[in-house]
Amino acid sequence: MATTIKRVDPAENEFLASLESKAKQPNPFLRAMANRPEALKNFVPFYAALVGPGSVDRRIKVMVYLATSYANQCAFCIAANLPGGRKAGLTEDELRQLENWQDEAFNPAERAAIRYARELARTARAQTSREEMFQHFTHEQIVEITLVAAMANFTNRFNNGLGILPEA
């Protein structure tokens, strides 16, 4: 049996307890990150600043997060972001397309963002897809999309590296 990272009990960390009381369910990602309490305290507002409201539509942000998570095969991040994808208006067919590396159902701007996210996940450079982004997005939006893709890559590597899986 593989060794797993300790999941901090919310009784040991007041900040974690407050987060989980709002979510009303345990979060293995946050419980693992709580091994470094200062990292958890700083991560939460930073994450919210990147994936929360901004100049880019929520639908595109979720597509970028999911495209990145599928590229990195992060089961936890995929499971965590599917409900938000549905809430942002992604159909079951669109979600399947993201999972299967297809993008025909999406409009040109969405396709550009999806391709960019996938390339960033694979190469960390996005030399092929970056130019297409300028046809659809402002500089501020490209930075925002890049930050969302970078956050997805961060959480994907954290979860995959520590073997954090969605709760059954």
CATH number at residue 112: 1.20.1290.10
Calculate the alpha carbon distances from 66 to 117, 157, 164 in Å.
9, 14, 17
Instruction: Classify the phi-psi angles of 103: left when phi > 0, otherwise alpha if psi is within -120 to 50, otherwise beta.
Output: alpha
Q: Are residues 18 and 68 in the same domain?
A: no
Question: What pLDDT, on a 0 to 100 scale, did the predictor assign at position 4?
Answer: 85
HEC string of 59-84 equals HHHHHHHHHHHHHCCCHHHHHHHHHH
Residues 6+ apart with CB under 8 A from 62: 81, 84, 85, 88, 90
Question: What pLDDT, on a 0 to 100 scale, did the predictor assign at position 1?
Answer: 55
What pTM does this model have?
Answer: 0.94
- Of 99, 74, 85, nearest to 154 by C-alpha is 74
Question: What pLDDT, on a 0 to 100 scale, did the predictor assign at position 25?
Answer: 85
Q: Are residues 23 and 89 in the same domain?
A: no
Question: What pLDDT, on a 0 to 100 scale, did the predictor assign at position 2?
Answer: 63
Say how far apart CA 16 and CA 29 lie, in whole Å.
11
Number of folded domains in the chain? 2
Q: What is the residue whose two structure tokens read 């999309």?
A: 145
Say how far apart CA 30 and CA 163 lie, in whole Å.
13
| Residue 2 placed within a domain | no
Q: Are residues 69 and 133 in the same domain?
A: yes
Question: What pLDDT, on a 0 to 100 scale, did the predictor assign at position 127?
Answer: 85
Say how far apart CA 34 and CA 57 lie, in whole Å.
30
pLDDT by residue for the chain (168 residues), tens digit each? Answer: 567 899 999 999 999 999 999 988 899 999 999 999 999 999 999 999 999 999 999 999 999 999 999 999 999 999 999 999 999 999 999 999 999 999 988 999 999 999 999 999 999 888 889 999 999 999 999 999 999 999 999 999 999 999 999 986
Identify the domain containing residue 73 by its residue range: 58-162
Single-letter code of the amino acid located at 76: F
